[in-house]
Structure 1
Amino acid sequence: MGFGRIFFFIFGFALLEVLVLAKVASLIGWPITIVATVVTALLGSYLFRRQGLETWIRLNQRMQQGDMPGQEMVEGIMLLLGGALLITPGFITDAVGFALLLPGSRRAMARKVIEKGTLQGFTTMQGGGFTYTQTRYTQHQQGANPFQQPPRQNHDGNVTIEGEAHRTDDR
């Protein structure tokens, strides 16, 4: 997506937000509209702190158990985005921000994001240490942690890492 498209998207979104604010203000009045935007920002700040702390606790628990906290990491990004949207004045950004901050909708959206993408992370190996994994999360893996797959070992018990290596000699 080029700079021009991003600029027109942001410009169009800001214009739409102003039009919605003006329409709401014409229905309920500007003082109430301004108070409503301030109240949503304060409520969003409170939700952001509360949900952020809960997500941070879950993330730490998963890491202490040796699991990759993919769900919690995606939720953390959504919390940051939701908090930023709620601070931004406007009713459309508030609606999206609250959807990202409320636990039920945020968790559902995070699961969808994880299902669509490739998860990357580090897993613990038998005997200690970590190994890098990249997993395409598919529908049949739903509910399972794709990072708990044991590393592939050859007949000698050594871990095999697939990929390409290129050596450049300094000679």
Structure 2
Amino acid sequence: MSLAVVSFFAVGTFIEIYFLKVVSDYISIINTLSLIMFTFLVGNIIGRSWGKECFEKMQWHLRSRSIPGDDVLNGSVMALSGMMLVTPGVVTDLIGVLILFPMTRWIFKDIAENMVRKKIARGELYYFFRD
């Protein structure tokens, strides 16, 4: 792992701990732990339901020989939302909640789509189509 990745996770961890401390100072430790457990449960439910739905839509598209582009991208972003909500922390929960709302989800979908397009352009990701 590169130093940048390790630094990112180290700084991210300290930021999450700091914000958890700030939140617990305002609403108490018990309420903060309850909030963490609640977002964990919500993230678990979202991850399971959207993950299953995304997989079923992808299978349907592949069986009908069509490209499952937007459905897979939407499902992947919602799975990311579930993962963010499962991860304890204020910043990750905020990102997870922002992804839940359709009016802000498009931002994350655009970011994911641009990342995939760049990987395809660089030759790091391949599609295989059957005629």
* TM-score > 0.5 by shorter chain: yes
Match of 1:67 in 2: 66
Question: Structure 1 CA distance, aligned partners of 2:34 and 2:80?
Answer: 22
Q: 1:60 to 1:107 in 2, by over 3 A?
A: farther
8 Å CA contact retained: 1:71, 1:114: no
Residues 75-154 of structure 1: pairs in structure 2 closer than 5 A? 75-100=74-99, 102=100, 104=102, 105-106=104-105, 109-115=108-114, 117=117, 120-123=126-129, 130=130
Match of 1:45 in 2: 44
Question: Structure 2 CA distance, aligned partners of 1:55 and 1:103?
Answer: 17
8 Å CA contact retained: 1:17, 1:90: yes
Question: Structure 2 CA distance, aligned partners of 1:91 and 1:65?
Answer: 42
Look at both structures and tell me which one has the larger radius of gyration over its CA atoms.
1
- What amino acid is aligned across from residue 27 of structure 2 in structure 1? I
- What amino acid is aligned across from residue 16 of structure 1 in structure 2? I
**Which has the bigger relative contact order, CA under 8 A and spacing at least 6?**
2
8 Å CA contact retained: 1:86, 1:94: yes
Q: 1:3 to 1:50 in 2, by over 3 A?
A: same
Question: Structure 2 CA distance, aligned partners of 1:121 and 1:63?
Answer: 13
Q: TM-score, normalised by structure 1?
A: 0.60
Q: SS state of the match for residue 128, structure 2?
A: strand
8 Å CA contact retained: 1:71, 1:110: no
Any gaps of 5 or more consecutive residues in structure 2?
121-125
- What amino acid is aligned across from residue 12 of structure 2 in structure 1? F
Q: TM-score, normalised by structure 2?
A: 0.76
Shift of 1:31: 0.4
| Residues 56-101 of structure 1: CA deviation (Å, up to 9, x unaligned) | 222122112211213333344434433332222111111222334x
Which protein is richer in helix relative to its size? Answer: 2
Shift of 1:30: 0.5
Identity across the alignment (%): 22
Q: How many residues are paired up? A: 123
8 Å CA contact retained: 1:55, 1:72: yes
Q: 1:14 to 1:6 in 2, by over 3 A?
A: same
